């Protein structure tokens, strides 16, 4: 040490766990330092203390949620959305195609009772999905979310109504299950991609922002992250209710109009 007091070197590496390149860089640095230690000990016949490398995630330093916590509320939102579009829409289309609704109208059971039971059964499935996916994320993926907070539960029930209404509207667009499935797929893929569920959305062109700001999934994911204690909503909370509510109103009016325009 050239007569100077020797002090052990410490190196701290900051990395992002979800990025393969970041993990690779951390491993490379650790390997290089290990080789340096070995070479010094060999050349100078001297025991060189191993350089201690400590790592810390950037998300922890910035007090931002982990990717698992960030995505978990969004996955729950996607589940209720997909249930509405693919469990409600195709079923309604099939019943219209084979005149099942007309046959129900000739029975003593009011058609409104059928719609109520049909809607309730789908919402029950959505509630089971909420609990199942939430517990899966908490116990198997180590997500730290407030699954049973009152705000999250009440808002999720609100989303059940919204996306069930969207499913009804899709079911009344066409009587062909194939065409209805194609329409649902064409609608759901862009809505999911531009919802901010998988990654934050920022610095987008204005024409893309128009689609994003009219996307109910975007506001649903923001609200669920807020209510589950993951992160503050990037949109005002009243917008998280207003925009999905507009979709609920439009789809309900459309479905009722199409239903009343059909005979039976």
**pLDDT, tens digit, for every residue of 198-245?**
888 878 888 899 999 999 999 999 999 999 998 888 899 999 999 999
Alpha helix locations (H) across the chain? Answer: 20-44, 58-61, 67-83, 89-97, 100-105, 111-139, 150-171, 177-193, 206-213, 216-227, 237-261
Q: For residue 69, give the nearest of 255, 232, 228 by alpha carbon.
A: 228
Residues 55 and 75 in one domain: no
Q: Which helix (H) or strand (E) holds 13?
A: strand 10-15
Is the per-residue pLDDT at 152 higher than 90? yes
Secondary structure element (H or E) that encloses residue 11, with its range: strand 10-15
Residues 15 and 77 in one domain: no
As for how many domains the chain has, the answer is: 2
Residue 106: Cβ within 10 Å count: 9
- Residue range of the domain that includes 51: 10-61
In a domain, residue 4? The reply is no
CA atoms within 13 A on the CB side of 129: 23
In a domain, residue 210? The reply is: yes
- Domain assignment of residue 5, yes or no: no
Residues 16 and 91 in one domain: no
The span from the CA of 233 to the CA of 226, in Å, is 5
| Whether residues 73 and 32 fall in one domain | no
Is there a single domain that holds both residue 236 and residue 209? Answer: yes
Specify whether 118 is located in the same domain as 247. yes
- Let me know if residue 191 belongs to a domain: yes
Higher pLDDT, 158 or 51: 158
Instruction: Return the number of other C-beta atoms located less than 10 Å from residue 116's C-beta.
Output: 11
Q: Does the global pTM surpass 0.85?
A: no
For the chain, give the percent of residues with pLDDT over 70. Answer: 83
In a domain, 82, yes or no: yes
Of 61, 80, 104, which residue sits at a domain end? 61
- Within a domain: residue 217? yes
How would DSSP label each residue in 150-211? HHHHHHHHHHHHHHHHHHHHHHTT-S-HHHHHHHHHHHHHHHHHTTTSSS---S--HHHHHH
- The Cα 132–Cα 79 span in angstroms is 11
* Same domain flag for 18 and 104: no
Q: Find tokens 């194609």 and name the residue.
A: 182
Shared domain for 75 and 195, answered yes or no, is yes
Specify if 3 maps to a domain. no
* Residue 50 banded pLDDT, cuts 50, 70, 90: low
Structure tokens at 210: 């128009």
Q: Are residues 25 and 131 in the same domain?
A: no
Whether residues 228 and 257 share a domain: the answer is yes
Q: Is 90 exceeded by the pLDDT of residue 124?
A: yes
What pLDDT is attached to residue 9? Answer: 67
Q: Is residue 114 part of a domain?
A: yes
Query: How would residue 174 be classed by pLDDT, with cut points 50, 70 and 90?
Result: confident
| 139 in the same domain as 28 | no
For residues 72 and 52, state if they share a domain. no
């Amino acid at each position: 040490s050239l007569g100077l007091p020797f002090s052990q070197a410490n190196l701290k590496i900051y990395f992002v766990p979800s990025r393969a390149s970041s993990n690779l860089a951390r491993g490379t640095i650790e390997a290089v330092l290990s080789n340096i230690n070995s070479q010094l000990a060999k050349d100078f016949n001297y025991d060189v203390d191993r350089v201690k490398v400590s790592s810390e995630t950037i998300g922890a330093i910035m007090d931002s949620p982990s990717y698992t916590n960030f995505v978990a509320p969004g996955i729950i939102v996607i589940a209720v959305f997909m249930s509405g579009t693919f469990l409600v829409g195709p079923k309604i289309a099939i019943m219209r195609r084979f005149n099942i609704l007309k046959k129900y109208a000739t029975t003593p059971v009011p058609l409104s009772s059928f719609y109520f039971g049909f809607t309730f059964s789908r919402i029950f499935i959505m509630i089971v999905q909420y609990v199942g996916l939430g517990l899966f994320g908490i116990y198997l993926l180590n997500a730290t979310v407030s699954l049973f907070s009152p705000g999250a539960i009440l808002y999720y029930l609100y989303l059940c109504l919204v996306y069930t209404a969207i499913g009804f509207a899709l079911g009344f667009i066409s009587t062909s299950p194939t065409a209805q499935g194609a329409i649902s797929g064409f609608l759901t893929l862009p809505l999911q991609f531009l919802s901010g569920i998988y990654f934050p959305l920022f610095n987008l062109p204005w024409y893309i922002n128009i689609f994003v700001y009219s996307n109910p999934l975007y506001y649903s994911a923001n609200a669920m992250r807020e209510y589950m204690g993951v992160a503050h909503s990037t949109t005002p909370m009243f917008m998280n209710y207003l925009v999905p509510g507009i979709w609920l109103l439009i789809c309900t009016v459309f479905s009722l109009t199409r239903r009343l325009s059909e005979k039976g």
